[in-house]
Structure 1
């Protein structure tokens, strides 16, 4: 079973292994805080990143003008980190066009095992509790796996913009 949990230092070791698997791949649902992955091997740097991720969900946390509050969650399977999921609390113009409310990524060794599907389903009531009636979830036009995940979660295809398929999913 895949659980969604708030970032936590308990997952440091498996997080570092999982992050390394991504290499230079984009980590949707990840964070700009992951850009300095090498420093995250240090316990203090990792703990600081966890705290920043948790604070990012708070409206009062200072952030750049083009950023919105976002709830970071990690996919955990059998005690191991298997992926990222992020719920953006509202949409900027760019998020409305391409990014969406929810982004997620599963580490390469854990793909095709249902983690993304379980995580997206688990994220919907969390989004509802944040006051979001329906979420926009996007994927690359050629990402058949993600498209399947979104459609199985009830995603209604709206259109494609800039190579991104856009789906609306009810949270209730």
Structure 2
């Protein structure tokens, strides 16, 4: 397992589509697009453009969004997951989203990809000058909780996030 973070690129579009298809319409945290995204070349091109725009501090973005770095978690030429680093928290992210969101495709789980990608994203956060990050996970996702705790996450609280479409969430903080 040799996970690296790669910004979305048309060069890996087919591998991105294969990874996205594995989620079967379920939430894909950290990708920058929602679960209804069709894994085709047009959607891939839109994601590449979105990732470039959101990573440009001078770019205009929607008022309800924040600037962010979107990465694909890659092993060789296979996209195994997605991770996003938001540069700041708006009201929604402070409540239920956090600075970092990630997903690993089902066939690549339990191989250490999430932990490796999270450590790399934390390095990116340090480079951006972020000194403390919040990461959330569903309360019934012990694998994600272990991943966050393994990266230094300290549980801040457990909240009911049904107001934004999620179950109970664990909110963790990592001091950088």
**Would the TM-score normalized by the shorter structure come out above 0.5?**
yes
1:41 equivalenced with 2:37 (yes/no): no
Deviations, residues 57-114 of structure 1 (Å, cap 9, x unaligned):
1222222211000100110012210000000000011111110000000011111110
On the 8 A contact 1:84/1:104 being kept in 2, the answer is yes
Q: Distance between the aligned counterparts of 2:102 and 2:134, measured in 1?
A: 13
Supply the RMSD in Å over aligned alpha carbons. Answer: 1.5
Q: 1:99 to 1:51 in 2, by over 3 A?
A: same
Q: Give 1:33 shift.
A: 6.4
On the 8 A contact 2:71/2:84 being kept in 1, the answer is yes
Q: Distance between the aligned counterparts of 2:9 and 2:66, measured in 1?
A: 22
On the 8 A contact 1:137/1:167 being kept in 2, the answer is yes
Partner of 2:10: 9
Partner of 1:25: 26
Partner of 1:57: 55
Q: 3-state DSSP class of the match of 2:171?
A: strand
Q: Give 1:35 shift.
A: 3.7
On the 8 A contact 1:33/1:49 being kept in 2, the answer is no
Q: 3-state DSSP class of the match of 1:32?
A: coil
Q: Distance between the aligned counterparts of 1:33 and 1:69, measured in 2?
A: 17
Partner of 1:79: 77
Q: 3-state DSSP class of the match of 2:37?
A: helix
Q: Distance between the aligned counterparts of 1:33 and 1:53, measured in 2?
A: 14
Q: 3-state DSSP class of the match of 2:124?
A: helix
Q: Which protein is richer in helix relative to its size?
A: 1
Q: Distance between the aligned counterparts of 1:146 and 1:47, measured in 2?
A: 29
Partner of 2:130: 132
1:169 to 161, 170, 174: 174
Q: Distance between the aligned counterparts of 2:107 and 2:143, measured in 1?
A: 15
On the 8 A contact 1:6/1:73 being kept in 2, the answer is yes
Partner of 1:68: 66
Which blocks of at least 5 consecutive residues in structure 2 are unaligned? 161-167
Q: Give 1:52 shift.
A: 2.0
Which blocks of at least 5 consecutive residues in structure 1 are unaligned? none
